[in-house]
Amino acid sequence: MSVIQLLKQTTDFTETDKRIVDFILKNLESIPNLTITELAESTYTSHSAIIRLAQKLHFKGYREFKNALIKASILKSNQDQQIDNNFPFDEKSTDKEITETLANLTQNTITETVAQLDTQKLSQICDCLLKADKIMIYGQGDSQILARYFQNKLVKLNKIAIIPEEYREEAWNTTNLTVNDCALFISYGGMMKHYTKIMEYLKSQHVPIILLTGNPQTDLLRFATYSLITDNNELDYAKISPFSSQVGFEFLLNCIYAGMFKRNFRKNIETLNERQKIIQKGILADNA
């Protein structure tokens, strides 16, 4: 039963519960942007009243309750035009329809990714990467494109990352990692069998392991020190392109980079400005 059905069909609500439920059903599209404090103020209730309602509906707390409501909001917004993440358009689609559909898919993917995002884990990942002496980013196919994208961003933080699979040297590169380093794996399906061996070895060496995946059931999770999951109902096969998964992962990587950057914000800004001067006006300038 969906969260909306639960809200409409549950019969043992108190008057306070009913006030919260009525507000949610009338303002479902606003829920993604509301904190528990704002919801309490809007319904003239309290944090504890909202949490009790969430638990009455068998959610652990407000965060889990809100995530379910966000997903319900996304589904509601797409009722008139369901978007298939694997085949978001067909041969009859006009160019205008394609652009509008992909815009909606992008927005929905980011909203759903935020709903699933564990910010505590995100913070731990930022700290882990900043602390690491060496960073290895594992990714194949489309995931390796994202690995390169993130590798380029890390340069701005003076963090040099290596993509070990680039020249089929993942085994040698893997053995170079120590407890002072970090390994980041990007795998939407989480079905890369050889990653099991690599992660098993890294775990035995106490190397911190970060996993970004779209598969909450992947066996790789048992090896990960930290993990972020963005499940956007996209198949590993039978699709035009990995539109949704790429958007979700790129968003997560941007969040990680932003979190890393802000931890030493002023210093990073100063460093960027200094290097920009060298590149534009110093010995490395094009006209030097």
Q: pLDDT per residue over 78-121, tens digit each?
A: 544 556 656 656 677 788 878 887 887 888 788 778 877 888 99
Most confident of 108-112, 199-203, 240-244: 199-203
In this structure, the answer to whether residues 138 and 31 fall within a common structural domain is: no
Q: Quickly state the pLDDT bin for 240 (edges 50, 70, 90).
A: very low
**Residue 219 counted as domain residue:** yes
Q: Quickly state the pLDDT bin for 235 (edges 50, 70, 90).
A: very low
CB 125, CB 210: distance < 8 Å: yes
**Residue 259 counted as domain residue:** yes
Whole-number average pLDDT of the chain: 86
**Structural domain containing residue 52:** 3-82
Alpha-carbon dihedral sign for residues 178, 180, 184, 185 = positive
**Residue 96 counted as domain residue:** no
In this structure, the answer to whether residues 25 and 133 fall within a common structural domain is: no
Query: Can you say whether residue 49 is alpha, beta or left, with left for phi > 0 and alpha for psi between -120 and 50 degrees?
Result: alpha
In this structure, the answer to whether residues 35 and 138 fall within a common structural domain is: no
Mean pLDDT calculated for residue range 12-18: 93
**241 has pLDDT over 60:** no
Mean pLDDT calculated for residue range 54-70: 88
In this structure, the answer to whether residues 132 and 32 fall within a common structural domain is: no
